[in-house]
Amino acid sequence: MRRNTNIISNLDWLTIAMFVMLVFIGWINIYSAVYSEEHKNIFDFSQRYGKQIIWIMAAGLIAVILLLLDSGIYSLFAYGIYAFMIFLLMAVLVLGKEVNASRSWFEIGSVRLQPAEFAKFATLLALSKLISDTGFSFNNIKSLSRLALILFLPVGLILLQGDAGSALVYYIFVLVLYREGLSHVAFFLAISIPVLFISTLIFEKVNVFIPIVSIAFLFVWLMSGWKKLLTALGIYIGSTAIFLSLNEIRLIDMDLYYILLLALAPSSLVYFILQYRYKLRNLFLLHSILLGIILYTFSINYMYSNILKEHQRLRIDVLLGKEKDPHGVGYNVEQSLIAIGSGGVSGKGFLQGTQTKLNYVPEQDTDFIFCTVGEEWGFIGTTFVILFFIAFLLRLIFLAERQRSQFSRIYGYGVVSILFLHILINIGMTIGLAPVIGIPLPFFSYGGSSLWAFTILIFIFLRLDASRMEMLK
Amino acid sequence: MNPFSGRKYIIAGLIVLLLATFVVKLFLLQISDVSYKISAENNSRRIVTVYPTRGLVFDRNGVLLIGNQRSFDLMVIPSQVKSLDTTEFCRLFNVDSDFIISFFRKYKGGLRPQVFLSQISKEDYAIIEDQLHKFPDFYIQERSVRKYETSGAAHVLGYVGEVDSAKIRSDNYYSIGDYIGVSGLEKTYEKQLRGEKGKIIYLVDVHVRIKENYAGGEYDEQAVAGKDLISSIDIQLQEYGERLMKNKKGAIVAIEPVTGEILAIISSPTYDPNLLVGRARSRNYLELDRNDSLRPLFNRAIQSSKNPPGSTFKMVMGLTGLQEGVILPHSTFGCSGGYVVGNFKLGCHNHASPLDLTRAVQNSCNAYFCNVFRKVIDNPKYKSVEKGFIAWQNHIKSFGLGVNLEIDLPYSERDKGQIGDTAYYNRKHGKGRWKSLNFISLAIGQGEVGVNTLQLANMTAAIANNGYYYIPHIIREISGDETIDKKYYKKQFTSISKEHFQPIIDGMYLAVNGGAGSTAGLAIIEDIDLCGKTGTAQNPQGENHSVFVAFAPKDNPKIAIAVFIENAGYGGTWAAPMASLIVEKYLKGYIPENRKWLETRVLEADFINKK
């Protein structure tokens, strides 16, 4: 049963205002990143900031059209849209234009479109449709295999195009699945396994080890209070100190990572005995998980350095973005850190950035656009942008939670997840906390495809949200 | 109610937590770590130094001594060179392929311009210029280097070289590749000559292409040209002296007594200052420094201060006696072929006896000055020999002997020489047990006494001035509002009263112009009253050194000179005629026909290659 309500009044104007604001801030930074003395006119359509104005206007048009369409069609045509996108993903493999060793672009005249960007919302529609089906259950093999099919089909095709970054986005749907009932353990494993895998390969061993152990101690404190924490800490720090002093007097010669690792063995033994005697089952479980994780990261390192052959290592490095640098590993990130770091508290001012404007930073108007924010607006600017993104994502979660239809809620969480992953990876990459994977920063990075894809994603959701009262559940 | 609805908090929490760690990281990156700001400036600002032209140097008559010439550095940005026709390149630039290979290995991938070949001369540049287009990655950067307009005065003028790392560390004006005066007046007047560097700050992009002036040129600085110097050197006299000193080891210093200005300061053998300019500089330097046993870089006029002055020391000896009141001008001492005390005898040559002070100077009587020396030191008014010795020493030192004259040329503590060696006497004779006879040879300028030619010339100037001198200097004027060091305007009084000088000067006059019995008859100049004194410095290693000091004219002296020729024998034979030729040249401007034979004789004398 449906009730007709006024779309205009039910539309969430706050979200739209935030969207407009983000797009506007994004454009200002593109203008600044591309700006030069010769090209100052903001309507210079030969320049990227000029073109971006066109893409923004087109995005506005898309938004209006989406709002005018009936909210019911998305659920109705979810699989159809999905099928069409899969078709496009296949077609681009044959007809696409090869750019930077990846065949992921359609070229129509002077406009280039990337179907992978649009496959995100199509896959999300299909996913929402599947999970919201009454017959769907996370305990049902048939349901799960359908789910897997819907997810892995686009991922496989995008990987074939050679665009690992875009394929990674689909991974984040695990957040959606979790919200809809995926078990805690599955969610924990799904998050921790790849995160640990990637961090182990891109960060220094010891910089991965210390946070993991610290988090374990945090849990000891949360679960059993500070007395137990002190005991655990005392045992571990004590045995570390012994090994450190052995190192100091040159009986052994090891770097910090191996000392910390080695210290874990005797301290674990002691602690396990204590846990057994005092029957601390929770801590025993936590302790086992910690050792499992350490073992996992250790074996990743071991395999990477000792078992993989040179060319296999190289492939992983390329996937993690370690090998893209023209000046050797780490150059791009270093330049990015310099640009952001040199911004200081309040930045060098609009159009005053030197690192970004003089091309020290690679891809300064697309993947590394956040450097311009950092350099010209400083810590105030970067914090503002991140807080704004957080606010935007929380607003979308709020909207998703108020949906009456499961389809709309799933779709809403999908939007949140996709945006979150893009923000996380993109900003993380510019500040050296994530692998260098070329995915755009929503609303900031230059480019029509990504802007339109995010616009479609959000405005379908806003349209669904506007009609939430029509659905009675 | 949805059973999993509580999970929204976990999801929201995860999002907030992860993005909040970004804020923390950004705080560390942008606020607590300042190193990125420095990196950013190093990245994007290219400071181009604008080198000022170095000041010119003129001689006292306005003759240009040091000018500047253009030189050319061949520059390259190593990363831009993709391929190179080495054969053609080696031929054109006259380098071997190993050099090219090692250069590009050293600067592999370098994004900043590097000097590939430095200081290509104008002549070589003319050859290269037309063909440079074949190597578009290379370009020429102009630079100004020194050009010495004279082949003489090398030790006075000095040379410039690239600043060394120690200097760069201690003086932040300098940076790598800058030139700095290394010796001579190039060194002492470095601050005035160099001017002030300017700079232009450019913003450059990642390919080191210059994009624009930083901040519209607001922080650029203009270069300030160096100041021109007028030296007191008379280059004609200097070059003449150098010609006379050819094939002889030694030094000549000529001073204008009324000002202390050095007219000529010659150290022989010398070298052509142009050898130490341009690309060949380091090679030539090594050649001059290591492979030349005559050590042409060594400035004998200042640095050679171990040699005894010989009899040229006798004037100050006599003056000390007069000042101490132990003799009067008409005091006479007998000489029986030497100074004899008991078994001790210090020989003398044949001359009339007894002599008064003036005659003793004229005849260079050893016995006379031994008597004077003992009277000064054993004077009962001093309670001990040591005290008498110190009193004597102070008189001698007041003439600038045994102390460093603060000349505006590089010198070191070692160059001050010595007037007696108290530490040695204490060791040898025991403290408080000295006897004047122990070091009687000091009376005639032998033994533990070492002076350099500059000190001798200055001593002569002090005698010519009847008791004072100006610190000898080679600067006359600095262009602009800067004045020369005040110390060069200050009279330095000796410890001898004015009235004591006349008998000594008379003796010097007679030593040259006294006819028979005069030791320096060869130095006589027609129409000019030259006062001089010969010396023969004993040299245990070989032939004695020939010494002569003189000033002229006798009244209102215009030039005081000291000549020191190593291993040339008697002072009267070589040093005296050479000094007289220089004085004549300076005062008359020419050597008259009837003295040409003497000039030829001096010019042809060779104490280095043949005996």
Nearest alpha carbon to residue B316 among B530, B492, B573, B507: B507
What's the pLDDT at A471?
A: 63
Looking at chain B, which residue has its C-alpha nearest residue A342?
B37
Provide the 8-state DSSP code for A118: H
Q: How far apart are CA B138 and CA B326, in angstroms?
A: 79
DSSP string for B181-197 = E-SHHHHHTHHHHH-B-
Nearest to A340 among B5, B30, B203 (CB): B30
Contact B16 A390 (CB under 8 A): yes
Tell me which chain B residues have a C-beta less than 8 angstroms from the C-beta of A192.
none
Amino acid at A418: I
Looking at chain A, which residue has its C-alpha nearest residue B110?
A327
Q: A316: exposed, middle or buried (C-beta count within 10 Å: 0-12, 13-18, 19+)?
A: middle
Q: How distant is the Cα of A96 from the closest Cα of chain B, in angstroms?
A: 32
Tokens of B33: 């770590």
Helices in B413-536 by DSSP H: which ranges?
422-429, 453-464, 501-513
Instruction: Give me Rg for the CA atoms of chain A.
Output: 25
Looking at chain A, which residue has its C-alpha nearest residue B24?
A383
Tell me which chain B residues have a C-beta less than 8 angstroms from the C-beta of A394.
12, 15-16
What crossing angle do the helices spanning A406-430 and A72-95 adopt, rounded to 10°?
40
Q: How distant is the Cα of B305 from the closest Cα of chain A, in angstroms?
A: 58
Which residues 395-424 of A are in CB contact (within 8 Å) with B? Answer: 397, 401, 413, 416, 420, 423-424
* Average pLDDT value for residue range B225-244: 93
What's the pLDDT at B449?
A: 92
Q: Is residue A176 within 8 Å of B9, Cβ to Cβ?
A: no
HSE of A49, CA atoms in CB hemisphere, 13 A: 21
* Average pLDDT value for residue range B537-550: 88
A·B CB contacts under 8 A: 119
Beta bridge partners of A76: none
What's the pLDDT at A326?
A: 46
Percent of chain A exceeding pLDDT 90 equals 34
What's the pLDDT at B360?
A: 92
pLDDT at B369 over 90: yes
Q: Is residue B563 within 8 Å of B548, Cβ to Cβ?
A: yes
Looking at chain B, which residue has its C-alpha nearest residue A174?
B11
What's the pLDDT at A323?
A: 54
Looking at chain B, which residue has its C-alpha nearest residue A328?
B109
Nearest alpha carbon to residue B464 among B256, B288, B257: B257
Q: How far apart are CA B265 and CA B158, in angstroms?
A: 13
Beta strands B545-552 and B531-537, pairing class: antiparallel
Q: Is residue B445 within 8 Å of B311, Cβ to Cβ?
A: yes
Percent of chain B exceeding pLDDT 90 equals 45
Q: How distant is the Cα of A454 from the closest Cα of chain B, in angstroms?
A: 19
Tell me which chain B residues have a C-beta less than 8 angstroms from the C-beta of A382.
23, 26, 30
CB count within 10 Å of CB B607 equals 18
Q: Is residue A321 within 8 Å of A435, Cβ to Cβ?
A: yes
- In which band, very low, low, confident or very high, does the pLDDT at A37 lie, cut at 50, 70 and 90? low
Tell me which chain A residues have a C-beta less than 8 angstroms from the C-beta of B207.
359
Tell me which chain B residues have a C-beta less than 8 angstroms from the C-beta of A331.
none
For B578, the enclosing helix (H) or strand (E) is: helix B576-588
Instruction: Give me Rg for the CA atoms of chain B.
Output: 33
What's the pLDDT at B209?
A: 66
Calculate the alpha carbon distances from B171 to A357, B195, B210 in Å: 35, 15, 29
Which of the residues B7, B21, B22 would you substitute to probe the A interface, choosing the one with the greatest number of A C-beta atoms within 10 Å?
A: B22
Q: How distant is the Cα of B40 from the closest Cα of chain A, in angstroms?
A: 6
Tell me which chain A residues have a C-beta less than 8 angstroms from the C-beta of B7.
178-179
Q: How distant is the Cα of A332 from the closest Cα of chain B, in angstroms?
A: 12
DSSP string for B43-63 = HHEEEEEEPPPPPPEE-TTS-
Tell me which chain B residues have a C-beta less than 8 angstroms from the C-beta of A341.
29-30, 33, 35-37, 39-40
For B287, the enclosing helix (H) or strand (E) is: helix B281-290
Contact B19 A386 (CB under 8 A): yes
What's the pLDDT at B260?
A: 94
What residue ranges do the domains of chain A occupy? 7-191+341-470, 205-319
* Average pLDDT value for residue range A396-413: 93
Q: How distant is the Cα of A214 from the closest Cα of chain B, in angstroms?
A: 15
Interface pTM (ipTM) of the complex? Answer: 0.88
What crossing angle do the helices spanning A369-401 and A13-34 adopt, rounded to 10°?
170
Mean confidence (pLDDT) of chain B: 87
pLDDT in tens, B188-233: 999 999 988 888 877 776 666 666 777 677 778 888 889 999 999 9
Contact B203 A428 (CB under 8 A): no
Which residues 215-234 of A are in CB contact (within 8 Å) with B? Answer: none
What's the pLDDT at B392?
A: 94
Which residues 273-332 of B are in CB contact (within 8 Å) with A? Answer: none
Which residues 147-186 of A are in CB contact (within 8 Å) with B? Answer: 175, 178-181
pLDDT in tens, B55-67: 999 999 999 999 9
B27 in reach of chain A (CB within 8 A): yes
What's the pLDDT at A2?
A: 47
**What are the φ/ψ torsions at residue B361 (nearest 5 degrees)?**
-65, -45
Contact A360 B7 (CB under 8 A): no
pLDDT at B111 over 80: no
pLDDT in tens, A62-106: 999 999 988 889 989 999 999 999 999 999 888 877 776 667 788
How many residues does the structure list for chain A? 473
B215 in reach of chain A (CB within 8 A): no
Tell me which chain B residues have a C-beta less than 8 angstroms from the C-beta of A389.
19
Looking at chain B, which residue has its C-alpha nearest residue A424?
B19
* Average pLDDT value for residue range A202-213: 85
* Average pLDDT value for residue range B442-455: 92
Tokens of B228: 């021109």
- In which band, very low, low, confident or very high, does the pLDDT at A1 lie, cut at 50, 70 and 90? very low
Nearest to B4 among A175, A180, A345 (CB): A180
pLDDT at B416 over 70: yes
Nearest alpha carbon to residue B318 among B372, B261, B244: B372
Which of the residues B25, B29, B208 would you substitute to probe the A interface, choosing the one with the greatest number of A C-beta atoms within 10 Å?
A: B29
Q: How distant is the Cα of A67 from the closest Cα of chain B, in angstroms?
A: 27
Q: Is residue B255 within 8 Å of B561, Cβ to Cβ?
A: yes
Tell me which chain B residues have a C-beta less than 8 angstroms from the C-beta of A363.
none
Helices in B94-199 by DSSP H: which ranges?
97-106, 122-129, 154-157, 165-170, 184-188, 190-194
DSSP string for B199-235 = EEEEEE-TT--EEEEGGGGTT-B--BPPPPEEES--H
Provide the 8-state DSSP code for B73: E
* Angle subtended at Cα B525 by Cα B522 and Cα B526, rounded to the nearest 5 degrees: 130
**Residue B471 falls in which region: left (phi positive, over 0), alpha (psi -120 to 50) or beta:** beta
Q: How distant is the Cα of B29 from the closest Cα of chain A, in angstroms?
A: 5
Nearest to A344 among B16, B37, B212 (CB): B37
Q: How far apart are CA B124 and CA B95, in angstroms?
A: 13
What's the pLDDT at B252?
A: 95
Looking at chain A, which residue has its C-alpha nearest residue B205?
A358
